[in-house]
Structure 1
Amino acid sequence: VKWVEEYAQNDDNKKPLFLCEYCHAMGNGPGDLKDYWDVIYKYPKLMGACVWEWCD
């Protein structure tokens, strides 16, 4: 989550960021979804994300 927020805050990064295959949910459920989405909603440069293996 820290890296994602640092990317969004860096004005040198001109391209939007989309997270793919984050928060692996197989077996033990992902516990950091709220932390990620709090940051994604805070910065317009962040486009969203896809959970990796939501179900098997």
Structure 2
Amino acid sequence: MKIIKIESFEKEDIMVTVEGYPHARPIFNADITPTELKEKLAVWKINQDEVDEIN
């Protein structure tokens, strides 16, 4: 999974664009560490894939 872009979102959050998921951009607290971001994105990706399978 490749991060395409990280941008500011609202006051203290970031929005992440991930390769292969251009229309679903998860939002995280801006103080997230790189390791936490990687872990949370892995879980987020699993959830996205499960939703795609249902649809």
Q: Same fold (TM over 0.5)?
A: no
Q: Which structure has the highest helix share of the two?
A: 2
Query: Which TM-score applies when normalising by structure 2?
Result: 0.32
Bigger share in strand: 2
Higher-Rg member (1/2):
1
TM-score by length of 1: 0.31
